[in-house]
Chains A and B, each alone.
Chain A
């Protein structure tokens, strides 16, 4: 049962994201564009859970978006797989600890979604000139989503963190910062200078 906790939470998260996005967020215009929560949620799952859960979450969320909006199936899935997988790889390869990492990865994820959607539509033959407005809209969406990246990341972390398996690397890092003994430090360095009584 404990093995199903993460998949169940991810399914609920994907479903809630798509419903909230389509019924509320899409209808709120900020500087002429709407925020897009879906790539931010997929990015957050990748950063927190790794590349494989990230890619699967991307596929499922994209498929749900395409289904609910009666769009060409597979287009959004393809883009979100890339976002989920590469967010996960960032975590696995770099193990970023800085608190602002979701901001940068969120911006990159939104840009990937916007530019990727444009490229796929061109490949599918949609007759659309590359207009300045299109570039402007993608840019503003990236800015708006960047502002939302940290709160979205915090919410996703709150939802899935209890279901994530304990990461040994993070456990080790936490131990060092909370007073544990690092193998890279000598005991004398940890304890500070030893005062000697004068002879």
Chain B
């Protein structure tokens, strides 16, 4: 009797492990349009109203926890923000002057600003689920293809770039965050020389990004400095447009070690958006369908 129980237990355990391994292997090797992926998306679609309801019901719990967390951090943030305000006031004065000059010059040379952020249509969405692990940095939102959302559309929130749409269903979408290991975007430091590079996540550290492939600063030039804003670069090359319009804030330079900059051409960037406390985001839907857009690996 005991032996029979042991045999049955082992058989079930082996079966469960076997099924898991088969699923893992099949899913890993399949394309996103495969049956397994389709079934998964179908289940997500069915469960999304439940998640949406639960998200609304549990919002007070999140808010209370967030209130305690925010209160604990408030003093530190206040001091940081005071310093930032001082710095930004000086930058604002310079930027206004530059803006006036820019408008005047753009008129003179007839520049096309159609890839600017104003050309995109923003669709508001609420977050209904998020992944708690460090490995898959994704969130689920309550807008889908029925609302005009497309694959690879940029997503902004908390005043900065948050990620891009990686899965679209009629009523829900999955957004891959900028801290996901598969993410990359061309970005520009808003300094005098406008250093441009490839922004990738520091995998394993959800609070850090790396701006890579930067040109070493020329003699006499300081290069990127701590606290400088990093924004999406945006580019147009023939019929290819960047996935992202230029000028969306991403973060600020948090560490600009000169050795690291000269040897590896990279600086560290802290994301501006608080990805842990996002409640609502905006999806920037395509400004001109039909134009091919470049995707970075």
Contact = CB atoms under 8 A, between A and B. Distances in A.
Nearest to B32: A70
Contact of A78 (B8, B20, B128): B20
Interface string B169-194: 00000100000010000000000000
Contact of A20 (B19, B54, B207, B208): B54
Interface size class of A (residues with CB under 8 A): 35 or more
Given A23-B51, A73-B24, A75-B24, A128 B44 contact: no
A128 B181 contact: yes
A182 interface: no
Interface in A22-66: 22-30, 32, 34-36, 51-52, 55-56, 58-59, 62-63
Given A129-B203, A133-B205, A74 B22 contact: yes
Contacts of A117: 133, 135
B203 A126 contact: yes
Main SS of chain A's interface residues? Answer: helix
A118 B21 CA distance: 17
A36 B132 contact: yes
A83 interface: no
Contacts of A55: 12-13, 16
B79 to A, nearest CB: 19
B9 A52 contact: yes
A59 B20 contact: yes
B93 interface: no
A29 B276 contact: yes
Contacts of B28: 72, 124
Given A73-B27, A78-B21, A127 B12 contact: no
Interface in A65-87: 67-75, 77-78, 81, 85
Nearest to A80: B20
B16 A73 contact: no
Contacts of B133: 36, 117
B281 to A, nearest CB: 13
A161 interface: no
Interface string B109-137: 00000000000000000011111111110
Interface in A110-132: 117-118, 121, 124, 126-131
Given A22-B131, A74-B23, A137-B206, 12 more contacts: A19-B51, A24-B58, A28-B62, A28-B69, A69-B140, A73-B23, A73-B26, A117-B133, A118-B135, A133-B204, A133-B206, A134-B205
